[in-house]
Amino acid sequence: MKYVDEYRSAQLGRVLAGEILAELEPGRHYKVMEVCGGHTHSIYKYGIGDLLPENVELVHGPGCPVCVIPMGRVDDGIAVALKDGVIFTCFGDMLRVPGSQYTLLDAKAQGADVRMVYSPLDALRIARENPDREVVFFAIGFETTAPSTALTLKRAKAEGIANFSCVCNHVTIVPPLRALLESPDLRLDGFIGPGHVCTVVGVRPFEFVPLDYGRPIVISGFEPLDILQSILMILRQLSEGRCEVENQYTRVVPTEGNVRALEVMADVFELRPHFEWRGLGFISQSALKLSERYREFDAEERFAVPGVRVADPKACQCGEVLKGVIKPWECKVFGTACTPEHAIGTCMVSPEGACAAYYNLGRFARDREAV
Ligand code: SF4
């Protein structure tokens, strides 16, 4: 398949692994964070860690959109789903994210009309087909998925669909990245930048990483050779004493991003003053809400969403995993009380979550065998 097979060549992978080895300074340990959950998934799916020298450590970041949704937001969603006459729609991953008591899937089992959709436009179609019901879309995701929610809301407004609304949980990647860089307990040498987000926002929003924090960042694609090449580019910057934003994913990411998508987002959304991230606490200006022009579609106002705050379960160490402070298997409940079938934390739910990636793609078994 064009643009896929040529980025999965084992032979070229070995060549890149050799070039990576040649860039390393003897005795130095390198920590490189992949910001995006899509990269985490690819890294474990293709066993990229096995191709790297031992002193190049990959650290997983906060870029899985399902993982960062706090329990309180799930509880808010369930409260709306349980209201009479509501059809509650969300992506499949969200169904299994634990709230304080139970999940949206449990709410469905109790009789709530909760439906999985593949896009917000599916939710809008359901609203058209059910004019006597209130249809709510639980929107999640970074800048990658926010434009599709924005376009759906524009269409709802243009068509005058009054029984459609949205719980907006869209988040932005730069503020948590900045928070991580401010964190004293995490020493990172460079970043694999979020290729999907950058298709929308471009590369410029990441210039603060080298400018303010002196760390290289390489915007990367998601195939194994993309990731290996990006790691090589980061290490090469370090060995040459350079520090900048580079774009490995030029076949998809334009420097300026998708200007039309940014315009649509600017029309439909505005920044929230602050937003709670699971395990990371409140981060200023890190999430989106509907702008004044689209307020009529805001489900939080329409249903007087309680806005509950719930502390994470004591056993849950998703926050440390999302910050890259611990590896998934270092969490005390990994693979025992917390599994994909019965998740305690969000990182075990989505395929992009680091814990699910470790568990589902064999790292758990291999690590256990090695002990
Ligand atoms: S094992 Fe479960 S509780 Fe522990 S960090 Fe992973 S998802 Fe969170």
Which of these, 310, 296, 254, lies nearest to 97 by C-alpha position? 310
The predicted model gives 92-98 an average pLDDT of 93
Residue 357 alpha carbon to ligand 1 centre in Å? 12
pLDDT higher than 90, residue 1: no
The predicted model gives 284-302 an average pLDDT of 97
Kindly report whether the global pTM for this prediction surpasses the value 0.85: yes
Residue 24 alpha carbon to ligand 1 centre in Å? 33
Residue 315 alpha carbon to ligand 1 centre in Å? 8
> What integer pLDDT is reported at residue 4 of this predicted model?
81
**Can you read off the two tokens belonging to residue 143?**
């800048």
pLDDT higher than 60, residue 369: no
Which of these, 7, 4, 1, lies nearest to 228 by C-alpha position? 7
Residue 212 alpha carbon to ligand 1 centre in Å? 32
pLDDT higher than 80, residue 353: yes
Q: Is 349 in the pocket of ligand 1 (CB under 6 A)?
A: no
The label of the residue with tokens 């937001």 reads: 73
The predicted model gives 44-68 an average pLDDT of 92
Q: At what angle do helices 146-159 and 259-268 cross, to 10 degrees?
A: 60
pLDDT higher than 70, residue 77: yes
Q: Is 345 in the pocket of ligand 1 (CB under 6 A)?
A: yes
**Can you read off the two tokens belonging to residue 319?**
């926050």
% of the chain at pLDDT higher than 70:
97
Q: Which domains does the chain have, with CATH numbers?
A: 71-173+257-302 (3.40.50.11740)
Out of 71, 320, 327, 355, give the residue to mutate to test ligand 1, the one with the largest number of ligand atoms within 8 Å of its CB: 355
* Chain segment 254-277, per-residue pLDDT in tens: 999 999 999 999 999 999 999 999
Beta strands 269-271; 288-290: pairing state: antiparallel
Q: Is 355 in the pocket of ligand 1 (CB under 6 A)?
A: yes
Q: List, as own/partner pairs, every contact residues 5-8 make where C-beta atoms lie below 8 angstroms and the sequence separation is at least 24, other chains included.
A: 6/225, 7/221, 7/223, 7/224, 7/225, 7/226, 8/46, 8/223, 8/224, 8/225
* Chain segment 17-36, per-residue pLDDT in tens: 999 999 999 999 999 999 99
* 338, 348 contact by CB (below 8 A): yes
Ligand 1 atom index nearest CA of 67: 7
Residue 317 alpha carbon to ligand 1 centre in Å? 6
Out of 317, 342, 352, 360, give the residue to mutate to test ligand 1, the one with the largest number of ligand atoms within 8 Å of its CB: 317
> What integer pLDDT is reported at residue 72 of this predicted model?
93
pLDDT band of 362, cuts 50, 70, 90: low
* Chain segment 294-319, per-residue pLDDT in tens: 999 999 999 998 887 888 888 899 99
Helices (H) and strands (E) in the chain, counts: 16, 13
> What integer pLDDT is reported at residue 371 of this predicted model?
47
| Chain center to CA of 107 | 24
Strand order in the sheet with 245-247: 56-63, 30-36, 190-194, 217-220, 245-247
Q: Is 107 in the pocket of ligand 1 (CB under 6 A)?
A: no
pLDDT higher than 60, residue 366: no
* Chain segment 109-137, per-residue pLDDT in tens: 999 999 999 999 999 999 999 999 999 99
The predicted model gives 226-243 an average pLDDT of 98
Out of 341, 344, 368, give the residue to mutate to test ligand 1, the one with the largest number of ligand atoms within 8 Å of its CB: 344
Residue 312 alpha carbon to ligand 1 centre in Å? 11
> What integer pLDDT is reported at residue 293 of this predicted model?
98
Write the residue with the smallest CA distance to atom 6 of ligand 1. 355
Give one DSSP letter per residue of 47-91, joined into a string.
THHHHS-TTEEEEEEEE-TTTT--HHHHHHHHHHHTSTTEEEEE-
Write the residue with the smallest CA distance to atom 2 of ligand 1. 345
pLDDT higher than 90, residue 198: yes
Residue 353 alpha carbon to ligand 1 centre in Å? 9
Q: Is 322 in the pocket of ligand 1 (CB under 6 A)?
A: no
**Cβ-Cβ contacts under 8 Å for 164 (sequence gap 6 or more):** 123, 124, 127, 135, 136, 137, 156, 297
Q: Is 279 in the pocket of ligand 1 (CB under 6 A)?
A: no
Ligand 1 atom index nearest CA of 326: 5
> What integer pLDDT is reported at residue 363 of this predicted model?
56
Q: Is 348 in the pocket of ligand 1 (CB under 6 A)?
A: yes
pLDDT band of 194, cuts 50, 70, 90: very high
Ligand 1 atom index nearest CA of 343: 2
Q: Return mean pLDDT, the chain.
A: 93
DSSP letter (8 states) at residue 205: G
